[in-house]
Structure 1
Amino acid sequence: MVIVEAEGSAQWQAATSDWLVASGCLYMMAWGLGCSSWDDSVDWALLGAFRFEDIPPERFVMTSWHENETLDDVFFFCKQCALHDSVNLAQTVLLHIAKQPAEQRIMDVYAQA
């Protein structure tokens, strides 16, 4: 789950998307500032990782952006509704992009979802 509360450069976003794909991310949800660009960025990173050839079903990365939803709603979706066609999603990583850390606030909202 990518929580965007501060924007970075396009190059940083592309590098982060490459890292998400290389790290084994299977479902990337984006919320916040310019969140729709994360959907595209991770899609391009996935295509690049497989040299624009067939992607094995167990490595396919589902992507979604949640532009007009509350963070509470997106966390609920993440915990209760997000599924992958080929793999059980066993863990969630919360990537908070912000100028100031807000770990406790983010974790509290996630726990309540």
Structure 2
Amino acid sequence: MTSRLFRIERSSLGKIVYLWLSPDVEFPRLPFGTPFRALVVSELHPEAARQSAICEWLAASGCRYLMAWGQEASSWDDSMDWAALERSGYVVDADGEDFIPTTWHDGESLAEVLHFASNHAKHPTLELEDLLVLRLAHSPDPEDVLGQGPR
């Protein structure tokens, strides 16, 4: 299996990159030059080791705000917290540039979460213009997800 990367430009929202990640594919290099927000759309819940590896990859790639929606959404909070702690040497600075706020969105529609990601996901120190939508699913179709977002 492979992953597919789609880049979508939207002037009012910055750059949105949609990535469908297959269960066992290696992580690609992301096309961000600055820190970014990430929304995990988890239609397939990975095993704990794979979820931890995804969070470590996101943190190392510049993710500085993580949101999760879908299966076991609350578990992404803990995985990213551990990845961020490991990267920082177990030093937490909530106003620092390496701090990674996390939210999970059980009981919300995907459209509501995309609205939150675009309008309310703020880092305490950094300006995060770009958004990665990381989809863990059988289907790679970005319109299933992005079609629900703000225009």
**C-alpha separation between the residues in 1 aligned to 2:40 and 2:150?**
16
Which residue of structure 2 lines up, in the alignment, with residue 85 of structure 1? 124
C-alpha RMSD over aligned residues: 1.3
Which residue of structure 2 lines up, in the alignment, with residue 4 of structure 1? 42
* Cα deviation 1:22-66 (Å, max 9, x = unaligned): 011011000000000001100000001112124471111110000
TM (norm. structure 1) is: 0.93
TM (norm. structure 2) is: 0.70
Amino acid at match of 1:37: S
Higher relative strand content: 2
**C-alpha separation between the residues in 2 aligned to 1:43 and 1:54?**
10
Which residue of structure 2 lines up, in the alignment, with residue 19 of structure 1? 57
Which residue of structure 2 lines up, in the alignment, with residue 60 of structure 1? 99
Higher relative helix content: 1
| Identity within the alignment, % | 37
Give how far 1:111 is off: 3.9
Gaps of 5+ in 2: 1-38
Give how far 1:110 is off: 2.0
